[in-house]
Structures are given as C-alpha cells and as structure tokens.
C-alpha cells in the first residue's frame, strides 16, 4: 500500500502553493453527480459480468467521499440543520423506490446515508458525554450499513470533521478513506471466492477514485461557491437525484420486459 503515501505527499505539496484554484464547490459537485450517474446507469443497464459495469461502478466511488467532504463543509455553514436534514429526507424518500429498482435489491438510498452522516456531525458537536457520543455514533454507523455506500461514510465525515482547515490532515483523511475502501472491497471480494490477485486488483481500482477526489478537492477547489445561479445549484441535486433514478428504473423495467 506504499503508493498511497507519495500521492498524499504530492497533494499536500500542491495544496500549500499559492495559485488560483479554478473549481468552485458546485463544479466539483457536478463532477461527483456525473460519476454517480455512471455508477447508477451501470447498475441499471449493464450485465453484472460486464467489464464496463465494473469500471463505471468504480468511477462512482468518487461521489461518496466527495459528498461527505461537502456535507461536512456545508454543516459548518448552514443556517438551519433542520432544513438541511429535511431536504435530504424528502429527496431520499422520493428516490427510494427507484433506487431499489435500479439496484435490484433493497437498501436505503444515498440521501439517507448523508442524513445519517449529518446526524453524526450533530452528535459530535451537541453530545457532551464521550461515552454517549461514541455509542450514538456506533449506532448510526450500524444503521448506515443498511444504506447505499455502507458504513464507510460515517468514517469519512469523522475524518473531515476533525481535519477541517488543516490541509495536511485533510490529505491524510482522503488517504485513510481510500485505505478503508480498499480493505472493505478486498474483504468483499474474498468472501465472493475471488482469487487473491484479482481481489486485490479489484479493490485497488475501487479505491483510486477516492484519491482522485482528494486530488481534485485539495489541489483544485477554490473554497468558494459559484458566483452565479446559486439557488439553482443549491436545489439541482435534490431534484436530480430522484429524477435520474426514476428514469433509470423505467429503463431497467422496460429492458427486463424485452424478449
């Protein structure tokens, strides 16, 4: 796993130099949305054994850690955590049935994962007793295991919560997140009776998008919102998420009925 550490050092070196980083928060979110759409389209439309499906699914892993980073950032800026949570909940409820159709099995969709992560951040700030805090976070991590992305996003938001504003720690957080993804995928591949070399290679490819997210955010993110159409950008994802899943679910159902 030594390849992680040069990447981490490179991201840290670049992020400490003064140059204009070109990407706004919204631009990176749109990249994450595109990666997510590739993942969902692969699940809905491509056969499980397809190499293209595996590649597009891996690309989608860019989204999870990216959204967790911006959730942590958004939590620190939001005027109302209640309203933030309400938007996630409504979008999640609208997307749930299409998501299960696209996935082909039951799980709570990504908005519920982000809602749980928002709860983790609230617990970190609002529960003073350490024992209660740890137990509540463990409970939310357990619940997150029934959601899209599993329990790893809880780890991601905790890493970003405690590294916020410290570039070297943020770089390390992305590397730790990629390592966690690697070992999670490796365990899953081995449990599926995949050979050791193939399992390690598959896990490596699944973890690289998390490092790519770190490189984009640490080296290219300006730390600012888009200057125009802020209201549109704010609401786009909440509408796009259930809408694209509904479209993909319809396509999957139509394809399943095609002789």
Domain boundaries, the chain: 24-41+50-247
Check: CB of residue 73 under 8 Å from CB of residue 157. Answer: no
Separation of alpha carbons 4 and 165, rounded Å: 21
Q: Record the tokens describing residue 220, joined without a space.
A: 């290219």
β-pair partners for 109: none
**Reported pTM:** 0.89
Q: Record the tokens describing residue 144, joined without a space.
A: 């997150």
Computed over every residue of the chain, the mean pLDDT equals 89
pLDDT given at position 2:
47
Residues 86-145: pLDDT tens digits? 999 999 999 999 999 999 999 999 999 999 999 999 999 999 999 999 999 999 999 999
Enumerate residue ranges in the chain where pLDDT < 70. Answer: 1-19, 191-195, 258-259
Check: CB of residue 44 under 8 Å from CB of residue 192. Answer: no
pLDDT given at position 199:
84
Which candidate, 237, 169, 181, places its Cα nearest to that of 25? Answer: 237
pLDDT given at position 5:
47
> CB-based burial of residue 209 (10 Å sphere; 0-12 exposed, 13-18 middle, 19+ buried)?
buried
pLDDT given at position 258:
65
Which candidate, 95, 89, 119, places its Cα nearest to that of 107? Answer: 95
Which candidate, 219, 251, 210, places its Cα nearest to that of 32? Answer: 210
The secondary structure of residue 23, as a DSSP letter, is B
């Amino acid at each position: 796993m030594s390849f992680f550490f040069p990447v981490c050092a490179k991201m840290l070196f670049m992020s400490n130099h003064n140059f204009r980083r070109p990407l706004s928060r919204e631009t990176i979110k749109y990249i994450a949305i595109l990666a997510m759409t590739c993942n969902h389209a692969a699940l809905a439309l491509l056969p499980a054994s397809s190499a293209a499906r595996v590649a597009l699914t891996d690309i989608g892993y860019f989204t999870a850690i990216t959204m967790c980073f911006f959730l942590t950032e958004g939590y620190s800026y939001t005027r109302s955590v209640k309203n933030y949570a309400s938007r996630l909940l409504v979008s999640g409820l609208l997307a749930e049935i299409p998501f299960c159709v696209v996935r082909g099995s039951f799980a709570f969709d990504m908005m519920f994962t982000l809602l749980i992560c928002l709860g983790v951040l609230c617990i970190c700030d609002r529960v003073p007793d350490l024992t209660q805090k740890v137990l509540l976070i463990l409970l939310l991590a357990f619940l997150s295991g029934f959601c899209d992305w599993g329990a790893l996003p809880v780890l991601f938001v905790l890493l970003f919560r405690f590294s916020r504003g410290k570039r070297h720690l943020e770089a390390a957080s992305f590397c730790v997140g990629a390592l966690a993804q690697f070992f999670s995928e490796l365990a899953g591949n081995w449990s599926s009776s995949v050979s050791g070399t193939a399992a390690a290679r598959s896990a490596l490819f699944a973890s690289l998008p998390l490092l790519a997210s770190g490189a984009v955010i640490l080296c290219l993110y300006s730390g600012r919102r888009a200057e125009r159409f802020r209201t549109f950008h704010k609401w786009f994802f909440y509408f796009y998420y259930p809408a694209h899943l509904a479209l993909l679910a319809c396509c999957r159902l139509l394809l399943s009925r095609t002789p």
